[in-house]
Amino acid sequence: MIIVCITGASGSILGIRLIEELLQKNKQIACIVSDNAWPVIQYELQTDAHTIKDILLQRSIHNILLQHLNEYTPDDFFTPVASGSNSFEAAVVIPASMKSIAAIAYGYADNLIHRVCDIALKEKRALIVVPRETPMSGIHLHNLHTLALYGATVVMPVPAFYNFPKTIDDVINFIVGRVLDLLHIEHNLYGRWNDEYTAR
Ligand SMILES: Cc1cc2nc3c(=O)[nH]c(=O)nc-3n(C[C@H](O)[C@H](O)[C@H](O)COP(=O)(O)O)c2cc1C
């Protein structure tokens, strides 16, 4: 099982696209959306949906794939994923706000997102964060550095330009593809650097 957390940073489409790709690969997903993420999701995706399942249905995902998706509220500390005794492969925070980055970096586990990240770090499981802010203050960079030191992988949501992205979807697919690479999941979301590019 992979835990996908969406926080209130801009770029909620990154989390939605990651969930779509994982479901297409028949991965079991636990999804946690922070309270502050919902208004951002609704604004950026121009939707009034209140669940990730509804958003995926609006985006025409096949209904049957949704059986692998469980959604949890950030105040639900009684759910199995809130305990280190229950295993998961990885936790991904995408996009990650600077507030959530600070909470995770300092072990301040006052919601389920911060708690599962705390568990990932203490149980030595994969933790991937995709922080979105620019420019970054020294505090932001310090907190990301702290997370990296303690075992998290920081994936900045920045595009590559060597594969000539033409659309926003190309950029989104590149970032989501890099996260899938870290999860060791095969995909064709972006063209890898190869002879095709160097021959130009
Ligand atoms: C439209 C919108 C965009 C935002 N974008 C960002 C952002 O890119 N990065 C960030 O750190 N916070 C951003 N915020 C602020 C966060 O939502 C806010 O700090 C919140 O407390 C984060 O809480 P959470 O981490 O629990 O979701 C944005 C807020 C709004 C309304």
Helix axes 98-105, 112-122, angle to 10 degrees: 40
pLDDT higher than threshold 60 for residue 200: no
Rounded to two decimals, what is the model's pTM?
A: 0.96
| End-to-end alpha carbon distance in the chain | 41
Which of 36, 47, 137, 139, when mutated, tests ligand 1's pocket best, judged by the most ligand atoms within 8 Å of its CB?
A: 36
pLDDT higher than threshold 70 for residue 122: yes
- Tell me the average pLDDT across 152-167: 95
Which of 33, 43, 44, 99, when mutated, tests ligand 1's pocket best, judged by the most ligand atoms within 8 Å of its CB?
A: 99
Smallest CA separation from ligand 1 atom 1, residue: 40
* pLDDT digit string, tens, across residues 168-184: 999 999 999 999 999 99
Distance in Å, CA 42 to ligand 1 centroid: 13
* pLDDT digit string, tens, across residues 61-79: 888 899 999 999 999 999 9
pLDDT higher than threshold 70 for residue 163: yes
Domains within the chain, CATH numbers bracketed: 2-198 (3.40.50.1950)
pLDDT higher than threshold 70 for residue 12: yes
CA distance 52 to 64: 15
Pocket of ligand 1 (CB under 6 A): 7-10, 34, 36-37, 39-40, 43, 97-100, 132-133
Distance in Å, CA 193 to ligand 1 centroid: 33
